[in-house]
Amino acid sequence: MSELVLLAVGIVVAAFVGVNIGGSGTGVAFGPAVGSELVSKMVAGGLMSIFVLVGGWTIGRRVVDTLGVGLLRGDPFTLRTSIVILFFIGGALFVSNVLGVPASTSMTAVGSIAGLGIARGTLNVEIALEIVAWWLVAPIAGFWVSAVVGRYWYDRLASWLAIDRSGGSLVHVDRSGRIPTIRVAPGATRREVTGAGVVIAIACLNAFSAGASNVANAVAPLVGSGDLSMNAGVLVAALAMGIGAFTLGRRTLETMGNDLTELPLTAALVVSLVTSILVVGLSGIGIPASFVVIATMSIVGLGWGRATRLDHFPETPTERPAEIGAPVESGGAPGAIEESDGSLNVADLYEPETTARVILLQNAVPVVATIGSYTVFFTVPSL
């Protein structure tokens, strides 16, 4: 098979990985905004594509350097090894989708590349240990930050986001002057527009973090082998993720946007903001971060923080005004929490058995990819 054909195969496999990442990431990033009817699926796909490209083009290339150059010593990547590694990453995405558990693409990518390094004796152990250390620190940080928010500030945030939608557009373009200006639409309040802006801004930050951390997962091996330049690799990955946002993303938006009872709007925004900040920070220092794992631990932390908050409620529930997104004590068991835009019982945020299963599978998929990669490259040295 000619090198040109192999390169075409490699780009197709990388694009497959990027499309899947973009499809799943769009639902996570813009689910709350679409579910709140602040943006359409088409607008969500467009914003996702733009901010993925910005994140990949600015910070994402640092992660590409780590995976494509720093993690392994020497020049271990060839076009054939790159294709095999990308197949492992794409296969992990497929398995996680079948199991219904979002696996960490970053952890799988690192594991697949590390398997090659272990088999060939080229693994840069110092960088590998640094990555693993951050994988342990970041989820713990996400847990505790979310726990503090859940315990002390969640009620205040939920009350602030309790915005009664007036219906119709929130803004309109005023073309009466020489320069068109954007103004608050008649009937809409500034508080409503501000709240909507916060939701959309956090969604765009999510998309930026997806580009910063996940562009490398699709093209780092091809960039590391020298078959794609850094700029070309980032563009291929960002374009593929954008296609995924407009195609597969519509389905994940349908699921995430219309099933907000599993994670109410306020909780979704807290988890998204905490996770995105951590992912962008790690990507900035070249560490491939797992949005999925950090987000999972942030959800657990938020639920745990809410659970500890219950201990301070009086035994006899007192009535509070019911607002959209504002937690109120129910007339049932003391300490039960509800939100009018979706239940916020602690079990919805933190269910030990389900959480344990998700965390186990999230870590099992990268381990299987690492072992599989090692086995293939050890037994077939000609690759």
pLDDT tens profile 114-138: 999 999 999 999 999 999 999 999 9
Looking at residue 358, what is its pLDDT? Answer: 64
Query: How far is residue 158 CA from its own chain's centroid?
Result: 22
Looking at residue 38, what is its pLDDT? Answer: 81
Q: Which residues have C-beta within 8 Å of that of residue 75, sequence separation ≥ 6?
A: 226
Produce one character per residue of 227-239: b if its CB has 16 or more CB atoms within 10 Å, e if not.
Answer: bbeeeebbbbbbb
Residues facing residue 337 across a β-bridge: 329
Cα separation, 161 vs 298, whole angstroms: 20
Contact 121, 379 (CB under 8 A): no
Q: What token pair was written down for 320?
A: 């509070």
Q: Which residue has the tokens 């003391």?
A: 334
Question: Terminus-to-terminus CA distance in the chain, angstroms?
Answer: 13
Residues facing residue 123 across a β-bridge: 72
Q: What token pair was written down for 5?
A: 């054909």
What pLDDT tens digit does each residue of the chain (383 aa) get? Answer: 678 888 999 999 999 999 988 887 888 788 888 877 788 889 999 999 999 999 999 999 999 999 999 999 988 889 999 999 999 888 877 776 666 566 688 999 999 999 999 999 999 999 999 999 999 999 999 999 999 999 999 888 888 776 555 555 665 566 776 776 666 666 666 777 787 888 899 999 999 999 999 999 999 999 999 999 999 999 999 999 999 999 888 876 766 555 443 567 788 889 889 999 999 999 999 999 988 788 888 888 988 888 887 554 444 343 343 333 334 333 333 333 334 333 344 444 555 665 566 667 767 888 888 999 999 999 998 88
Instruction: Indicate the Cα dihedral angle 292, 373, 96, 213, nearest 10°.
Output: 30
Q: Which residue has the tokens 């995105």?
A: 276
Contact 269, 32 (CB under 8 A): yes
Looking at residue 353, what is its pLDDT? Answer: 65
Contact 345, 337 (CB under 8 A): yes
- Strands of 309-354 (E only): list them: 328-329, 337-338
CA-to-CA separations, 322 to 167, 190, 313, 325, in angstroms, rounded: 20, 21, 17, 9
Looking at residue 256, what is its pLDDT? Answer: 56
Model confidence, pTM: 0.81
Specify the pairing of strand 171-174 against strand 181-184. Answer: antiparallel
Give ∠ CA 227-56-3 in degrees, rounded to 5.
10
